[in-house]
Structure 1
């Protein structure tokens, strides 16, 4: 389950809902990178992962981010960490892109 070298231009988007779509980027070993595009108002519902850790890096735009009990507005260059069983979610305040890195890989994304 590896995808070592990936050209972004060759990856199709997977539409998750009307305002959210993603591309699965490189993956290998226990890591996976995913690029997620949000239109203004798009929401990544608050949730947690029982077996995954996640770091998210804002590539462009602006998000209202909740991690645990903390809520902040993050912009390009900002990031957050959500450990196992930590509730987190985002809302795009403008058209935005986020890079999610997971360990272990999200096999549910590959179905």
Structure 2
């Protein structure tokens, strides 16, 4: 994590490193402060965002690709241009159906990512 990502007014995506988080899944922290965090997550087809829950509120935008998203007991396929909301402490996960990128927003920021 570079200090320019904390409270960054502008972020140069090309200079940020990817972090491998699972087979077929990598992420980069775009910018954050104590209250808000933006994370880009790239998936290969078949990549899995392991089901989990956390106390953060999350909203995600599908920048590209197609994903089967589970939120609680509901499963939907989302595609480029779609978005979804995950309330705090709700079980959720993702399976990539077509390689793509999700942009995740968390409040408060994910301390466990830094």
Alpha-carbon distance in 2 for matches of 1:104, 1:82: 13
Task: Verify: 1:17 aligned to 2:33, yes or no.
Answer: no
Alpha-carbon distance in 1 for matches of 2:77, 2:95: 9
Q: CA deviation at 1:2?
A: 2.6
Question: How much is the aligned-residue C-alpha RMSD, in angstroms?
Answer: 1.1
TM-score (norm 1): 0.93
Instruction: Extract structure 1 runs of 4+ deviating beyond 6 A.
Output: none
**Does structure 2 retain, via aligned residues, the 8 Å contact 1:4–1:28?**
no
**2:93 paired residue number:** 89
Number of aligned positions between the proteins: 109
**2:80 paired residue number:** 76
Please list the CA deviations of residues 19-57 of structure 1 after superposition, one character each: whole Å capped at 9, or x if unmatched: 0000100212400000000000000011111x2110011
Alpha-carbon distance in 2 for matches of 1:95, 1:69: 24
**1:26 paired residue number:** 31
